[in-house]
């Protein structure tokens, strides 16, 4: 399904769990096996096609108010990241930014790259520039850097740099190697400093540069090479089942 352009592994698991996939007329379940050359696989009643498409890698600066999905699941005529890229073929977002957040997103049809960039096992850095309400204390920042309890377990250590701080606002540069739902917003609110603005500026080796909100561009050959090199190195360094030190 990833090869056919239906999204990352997690997104495809959700499609299967929703009962949208059938194998030889039977609704598929997670863990089912099928051979596209021998079995009749359908998604939403349409045959799965594995026609080859060359890999595409596009950087997008997602504006505030745009949802990071392929479709508006709520049918409310909301703008999606896919709407911003008038490019033929399958494309899906790598990772997510919530609707109020902004910044760098990678759009691709390469399921393997998408999986390696988003799975916590590979620990790819994502860098955010965040503006908080008020003057956050050094004590709160130190605790945040060490880790805080979120959803019953402690967050990974997070390097945090102070970009600017005064009585009305604090601007921080935060590096994450995990991606829990609305993680930065929830931690900041827990310290009493709600997020006013959140912009992702880097994913792995890819940086936003001078790309303006709503703009997009294809990766350069050098960036594609860096992306493949970085994901390959990470996957070799930490294999499934390997213990953390």
Exposure string for 16-52, b = 16+ CB within 10 A, e = fewer: beeeebbbeeeebeeeeeeeeeeeebbbeeeebeeee
Helix (H, G, I), strand (E, B) or coil at 193: coil
Q: 7: burial class by Cβ within 10 Å (0-12, 13-18, 19+)?
A: buried
The yes-or-no answer on residue 98 being catalytic is: yes
Which is the catalytic residue, given 32, 71, 83, 98? 98
Q: Quote the CA–CA distance of 106 and 117 in Å, as a whole number.
A: 10
Other C-beta atoms lying within 10 Å of the C-beta of residue 98: 11
Q: Quote the CA–CA distance of 3 and 133 in Å, as a whole number.
A: 43
| H-helix segments, the chain | 9-17, 111-118, 138-146, 183-190, 221-237
Give me the active site residues, please: 98
């Amino acid at each position: 399904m990833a090869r056919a352009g239906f999204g990352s592994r997690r997104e495809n698991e959700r499609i299967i769990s929703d009962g949208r996939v059938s194998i030889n007329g039977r609704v598929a379940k997670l863990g089912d096996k099928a051979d596209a050359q021998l079995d009749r696989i359908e998604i939403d009643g349409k045959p799965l096609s594995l026609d080859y498409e060359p890999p595409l890698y596009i950087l997008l600066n997602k504006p505030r108010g745009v949802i990071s999905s392929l479709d508006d699941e709520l049918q409310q005529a909301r703008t999606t990241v896919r709407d911003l890229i008038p490019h033929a073929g399958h494309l899906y977002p790598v990772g997510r930014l919530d609707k109020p957040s902004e910044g760098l997103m990678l759009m691709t049809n390469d399921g393997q790259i998408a999986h390696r960039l988003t799975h916590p096992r590979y620990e790819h850095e994502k860098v955010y520039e965040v503006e908080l309400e008020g003057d956050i204390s050094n004590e709160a920042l130190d605790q945040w850097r060490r880790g805080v309890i979120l959803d019953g377990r402690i967050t990974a250590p997070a390097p945090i740099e102070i970009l600017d701080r005064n009585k009305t606002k604090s601007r921080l540069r935060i590096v994450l190697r995990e991606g829990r739902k609305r993680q930065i917003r929830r931690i900041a609110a827990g310290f009493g400093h709600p997020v006013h603005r959140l912009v992702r500026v880097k994913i792995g080796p890819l940086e936003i540069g001078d790309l303006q909100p709503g703009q997009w561009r294809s990766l350069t050959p050098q960036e594609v090479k860096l992306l493949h090199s970085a994901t390959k190195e990470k996957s070799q360094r930490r294999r499934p089942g390997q213990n953390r030190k």
